[in-house]
Amino acid sequence: MHITALASLLTLPALSLAAPTKQHPLGSKHSSPYKPDHYDPYDRKHDSVGEGLHPEPYRNGKGTSVLGPRNRMREQQDPDMVRPPSTDHGAMPAMRWSFADSHTRIEEGGWTRQTTVRELPSSKEIAGVNMRLDKGVIRELHWHKEAEWAYVLSGEVRVTALDSEGGSFIDDLKEGDLWYFPSGHPHSLQGLGENGTEFLLVFDSGGFSEESTFILTDWLAHTPKAVLSENFRIPPELLEHIPLSEKYIFQGSIPGSIEEEKPKAFKQSKLNFTFNMLDVEPQVGSGGQAKIVDSRNFPISKTIAAGHLDIGPGSMREMHWHPNADEWSFFIKGRARVTIFAAEGTARTFDYMGGDVGVIPANMGHFIENLSDDEPLEVLEIFRSDRFMDFSLFQWMGETPQRLVRDHIFANHPKAAKEFLRQVEGGKKDVIKEQYYKSPEHEEAIRRLEGGGDGGEGWAEEL
């Protein structure tokens, strides 16, 4: 690194104090952080989509321009692929897929598209389906070997199901509600309201295919009419005009209220197949909140656990890992940066936005930063497990003997050790942390670091 580069690195803390509120690290709206002369030893995030920036492969005096063909739209959505943080290293399979890259199956009044192990090979434990049903449109009566968990993204939907003891279930759901159908349980979905519904379906196997479910009309079309006649006790002549193949998604008639629709044979199931996720008491962090749903509060959901995260202004889902399952994340709104740490010095950074899917294998350390200045970041973390489980790095550091922590990280820097230990000493797990960069707390720490300000001497002493 040459001299001017070094000089600009050394003056960074002072520079970052100059504009205390707005969050435009180094590269402001006026100077792109993707210029050859841009230096940032801290690898700060940039919202290239939100700020209309064009990522270029320049980093701290290295790199050069792109001469060949390029897909600028893709590069803008993946700024940390074009210029990865200097901390990224080693090889990692793809951990991002967008539903925009999935094939859309278009049917009467609806559509569906899926992200499975075929689209995203790292999506081994979970497959996702994004489906839209207009008003009155039906996803026909069917079942499958995988269990199905779902989150309503928009509109209203009626679900019906049958349990294995002959109990029936009908419910109407709206945005933020969930359902869960255990493996093999037959069910149906129908769009309600003015514009029907859109939802995310999650299956507890990456190999699931929305094309290979067991569908009522498909079965009837592939059974001899003589057998149907025996089974349903009607003359085979009356079966001449049944569908010749599956209907799958089709326009249905508009349903009445649940009460009006209940058949004579209706026996209320003892199971509760649906749940209102947004009513869950949140875990409140300093920069947002997390709502956790698993078999502890939604007992039927034995194979899927989930967290719904709202990540506030400039905030971050703190550094953590999940010991019990791969994370399958679905980004509902906003833009995010995530670095996945895979041990053996391997780390890679991925960027996500609304409609994208991410996979983070079990035990790999990660965080989720909100990149956007104007769009909220809302994300679902989904696991093939009966329990949501995570480890917070911050909490671990706080609950470990301080001398041990200091010896690991700050053996040669007692001043830094004291500041670090002062922060973690409460051992408090803060699932979503508010922005520290340029906060009064950050500025105060820098004043202490520079020797001035209150309490500077206090923590600068030897431990």
Ligand X SMILES: *[C@@H]1O[C@H](CO)[C@@H](O)[C@H](O)[C@H]1NC(C)=O
Positions marked catalytic? 381
- In the bound state with ligand X, the residue whose beta carbon lies nearer, of 218 and 373, is 373
Helix axes 414-424, 402-409, angle to 10 degrees: 130
Residues 6+ apart with CB under 8 A from 314: 23, 287, 370, 434, 435, 437
Minimum distance of ligand X from residue 312's CB (angstroms) = 4
- In the bound state with ligand X, the residue whose beta carbon lies nearer, of 101 and 373, is 373
- In the bound state with ligand X, the residue whose beta carbon lies nearer, of 47 and 246, is 47
Amino acid code (one letter) for 109: G
DSSP 65: -
Minimum distance of ligand X from residue 305's CB (angstroms) = 16
- In the bound state with ligand X, the residue whose beta carbon lies nearer, of 288 and 398, is 288
In terms of DSSP H, where are the helices of 233-338?
258-261
Q: Name the segment binding ligand X (CB under 6 A); options: 66-74, 157-165, 372-380, 406-414.
A: 372-380
As given in the structure block, the two tokens for residue 395 are: 């909490």
DSSP 57: S
* Cα 332 to Cα 357: distance, rounded to the nearest angstrom: 10
How many chain residues interact with ligand X (CB under 6 A)? 18
Q: Name the segment binding ligand X (CB under 6 A); options: 92-100, 187-195, 213-221, 336-344.
A: 187-195
373 is an interface residue for ligand X by CB under 6 A: yes
276 is an interface residue for ligand X by CB under 6 A: yes
Q: Name the segment binding ligand X (CB under 6 A); options: 86-94, 234-242, 341-349, 369-377.
A: 369-377
Contacting residue, 128, 314, 361, 398, with ligand X by CB under 6 A: 314
- In the bound state with ligand X, the residue whose beta carbon lies nearer, of 309 and 325, is 309
Looking up tokens 């905030």, which residue turns up?
315
Q: Name the segment binding ligand X (CB under 6 A); options: 67-75, 100-108, 250-258, 306-314.
A: 306-314
372 is an interface residue for ligand X by CB under 6 A: yes
272 is an interface residue for ligand X by CB under 6 A: yes
Contacting residue, 360, 377, 379, 382, with ligand X by CB under 6 A: 377
| CA end-to-end span of the chain | 35
The closest of 255, 261, 245, 220 to 107, measured between CA atoms, is 245
Q: List binding-site positions for Mn(2+).
A: 142, 144, 148, 187, 320, 322, 327, 366
In terms of DSSP H, where are the helices of 33-100?
48-51, 72-77, 79-82
Answer yes or no: are the C-beta atoms of 135 and 193 closer than 8 Å: yes
Task: Write the DSSP string, 199-247.
Answer: EEEEESSTT--GGG-EEHHHHHHTS-HHHHHHHHTS-GGGGTTS-SS--
Which residue has the CB atom at the shortest distance from ligand X? 376
- In the bound state with ligand X, the residue whose beta carbon lies nearer, of 92 and 377, is 377
Contacting residue, 97, 99, 275, 459, with ligand X by CB under 6 A: 275
Query: Can you say whether residue 231 is alpha, beta or left, with left for phi > 0 and alpha for psi between -120 and 50 degrees?
Result: alpha
- Site for ligand X, residues 402 to 431, rule: CB under 6 A: none
- In the bound state with ligand X, the residue whose beta carbon lies nearer, of 53 and 66, is 53
28 is an interface residue for ligand X by CB under 6 A: no
Q: Name the segment binding ligand X (CB under 6 A); options: 101-109, 304-312, 401-409, 446-454.
A: 304-312
| 371 φ/ψ angles, rounded to the nearest 5 degrees | -90, -25
Minimum distance of ligand X from residue 432's CB (angstroms) = 10
As given in the structure block, the two tokens for residue 112 are: 């569906």
Answer yes or no: are the C-beta atoms of 323 and 389 closer than 8 Å: yes
Minimum distance of ligand X from residue 276's CB (angstroms) = 5
Beta strands in 277-412 (DSSP E): 283-285, 288-293, 305-311, 316-321, 327-333, 335-341, 347-353, 356-360, 366-370, 377-383, 391-392
312 is an interface residue for ligand X by CB under 6 A: yes
- In the bound state with ligand X, the residue whose beta carbon lies nearer, of 320 and 438, is 438
- Site for ligand X, residues 51 to 90, rule: CB under 6 A: none
376 is an interface residue for ligand X by CB under 6 A: yes
As given in the structure block, the two tokens for residue 12 are: 């960074």
Contacting residue, 313, 355, 414, 456, with ligand X by CB under 6 A: 313
Minimum distance of ligand X from residue 375's CB (angstroms) = 7
| 408 φ/ψ angles, rounded to the nearest 5 degrees | -75, -50
- Site for ligand X, residues 189 to 228, rule: CB under 6 A: 193-195
310 is an interface residue for ligand X by CB under 6 A: yes
Site for ligand X, rule CB under 6 A: 23, 193-195, 272, 275-276, 310-314, 370, 372-374, 376-377
